[in-house]
Each structure stands twice: as C-alpha cells, then as structure tokens.
A = this chain, B = another copy of it.
C-alpha cells in the first residue's frame, strides 16, 4: 500500500543493473565514460521500468541557471499586452525555484526600429530562450535566423511567421477568428445588407498581420454566406477622438441601413462608446479581446460579442514551453492555437472570474 507512493529512483536502477548510481547517472544524461557492457545493463533496466526522475530533486541539485527574455510592446494598464505580461510573470514565479530568471524587455509597438533595438540587446545577453511577438515579417525573420544560428530557442506569441522555426507558437488562428466574427454577425443579423468594418491605422506604423488576416477571414465568410451584403470600410486613428467621431458619424449617417459593425483590433470600445453616445443600439458590434473598456461596453450591451484568445495563457505557456524544453526535456507542441472564446453579456462574468491557467 505505502510503496505506491515511493517512485523508482536512481539508486534502485543502479541496484537492478548491478552498477553504481554514478554510472546510471552517466547513462541517463549520456555524458560518456561508460563501457558498452554497463550501458547495456542500465538501458535494459530502463526499458523494463518506467523511470521518471524527481524533477524537484533534480532542480535542487542542479547548478545550472537559466535566463529567459520576453520581448513585448510597452502597454497601458488593462491592455491586451498587460494580460500577456501577467501570464509571463506567473510562469516566472513558478520557475524561480528552478533557477530560472525571466527578464521582460519592452519595445514601442508598431515601431520597427524600436523592435529591432530591443531584439539586439536581447540577443547580446545570450539568454537561454526568448519569447516574442513577431513584428514586420522580414525583420522578424532575420532575427529568427540569428536565434537559430545562436542555438537560442524562441517562442512566438500573438501571431505567427510561417518561414521561421520557433520552438512553439501560442496564439489565435487569426483568419478563422475572422470567419467566426462573420458567423456571429450573420447569426445576430441574418437579414442585414450593410455592415461597417473599422480599422485603426497610423502613417509609418507596421501593419498587423493578425488584424489583416482576421479581416480576410471575415470578408471571405461574408462573401460565401451572404454575397449581397455590402461592407463599408472606414479607418480610425489612434489618439484622434474627434476625427474618429466624425468618421463614424459620417458612415452611420450616410448608410442608415447598416445594422452591424466589426473591428478587428482590440479597440472595439471606440466604436462601442460612439454607438452608446448616439443611441445606435440597433447596431450589432463585434470586437476582439477583453480590454476593460471593451468589457464595460459588453456589459452595457453596446458590444454584442467579444472574441477572446486568452492572452495570459499565451504568455504563461510560452515561458513554460521554454522550461519544458530546456529544463524538463519534455516534447513541446509547435503550433498551439488558442481557443476562440465567445463572450457575451451573459457569460462574461464567469469568464472573468476564472483564472484560465
């Protein structure tokens, strides 16, 4: 009864194989200096039993230290990246007893020069692993190659670059999340013939793959299921509330038949707050991500659906993937699409009240 609890340990293996623990250790970590005969004896035993080392004892005894670097955009509180960082920090805490240090470096979002600079410093530190969201494809790919060359495993979060070879990717399937938005729109407004699509854009900014792919998915779904539907596109700007208000006013004024609106960035609240202000509550708005202002708008019904992608889990699992690979020698799955969580007024509270880790 009791010995269910005590796992097989190296000492047991040594006895079974008729060698010393040192030899078993050398075989397990195959660091040489073992004769064929002993190696075979040990390997035979290993094949028979199912040895799983006590990773805690192992970490305790190990003198190796690890340093990971997470490179993410500087963010404001309540932002999408805030959640990502939350997950990174949670993972970091759990790993301190394994001698892992996680450093977070920030770059200016949409600014490619800033991204490059931060990545350079990250590489200079020669960390054991790096976590980053891809930026401009060509540039990111260059860094990916450098990391490959330096033998530094790296994790992509948020979005993905096909050409690179990260240890793992954690993020949404952007295109299909766009289709999902389309599907939700048609469920909510099966009859509608006109829909508004808003994008944020700023001159000189790096466009987001993520967002353009969502849009592509949405458009393709609409084309397929309701070809007759007209899509009105409009562009908003960061930090230009008056201008944005004008843009929205124009589009909704000119096209009274619009019954639905979508916004593929995480700033749906900009549109939501406009709809609220002008009491356009016949318009179904669909957005992405659980920013605080988005949630508020979901609660007051100016947003109908939010599609979420568990950013905190992306950060958490990203870091964990590095430690699984480097420390615990576990196989890690390469492509990890996040669930596309559908949040509405009715279920948001339970979602928020729950830690997704």
Contacts and interface: CB of A to CB of B under 8 A. Distances in A.
Contact of A339 (B180, B188, B350): B350
B344 A341 contact: no
For the complex of A and B, the 6 pairs showing the least CB-CB separation, nearest first, are A56-B56, A342-B342, A340-B347, A339-B351, A180-B346, A183-B346
Contacts of A339: 341, 347, 350-351, 354, 356
B56 A97 contact: yes
B176 A350 contact: yes
A7 interface: yes
Given A56-B59, A337-B354, A339-B341, 19 more contacts: A2-B65, A4-B101, A5-B96, A5-B100, A7-B97, A54-B60, A56-B60, A56-B97, A179-B346, A180-B346, A180-B347, A187-B188, A338-B354, A339-B350, A339-B356, A340-B346, A340-B350, A340-B351, A341-B347
21 contacts: A5-B99, A5-B100, A7-B97, A54-B97, A55-B97, A56-B57, A56-B60, A57-B97, A60-B60, A173-B350, A176-B346, A180-B347, A183-B344, A338-B354, A339-B341, A339-B350, A339-B354, A340-B351, A341-B342, A342-B344, A357-B357
Interface string A182-222: 01000110000000000000000000000000000000000
A80 to B, nearest CB: 18
A265 interface: no
A336 interface: yes
Contacts of A173: 350
Interface in A125-156: none
A32 interface: no
Interface in A4-63: 4-5, 7, 54-57, 59-60
A7 B4 CA distance: 33
Contact of A5 (B4, B65, B176, B180): B65
Interface of A: 2, 4-5, 7, 54-57, 59-60, 65, 96-97, 99-101, 173, 176, 179-180, 183, 187-188, 336-342, 344, 346-347, 350-351, 353-354, 356-357
Contacts of A180: 346-347
A168 to B, nearest CB: 13
A330 to B, nearest CB: 13
Contacts of A179: 346
A314 B183 CA distance: 30
A346 to B, nearest CB: 5
A340 B342 CA distance: 10
A184 to B, nearest CB: 8
A351 B310 CA distance: 12
A7 B100 CA distance: 11
A347 B173 CA distance: 10
A319 to B, nearest CB: 15
Contacts of A5: 65, 96, 99-101
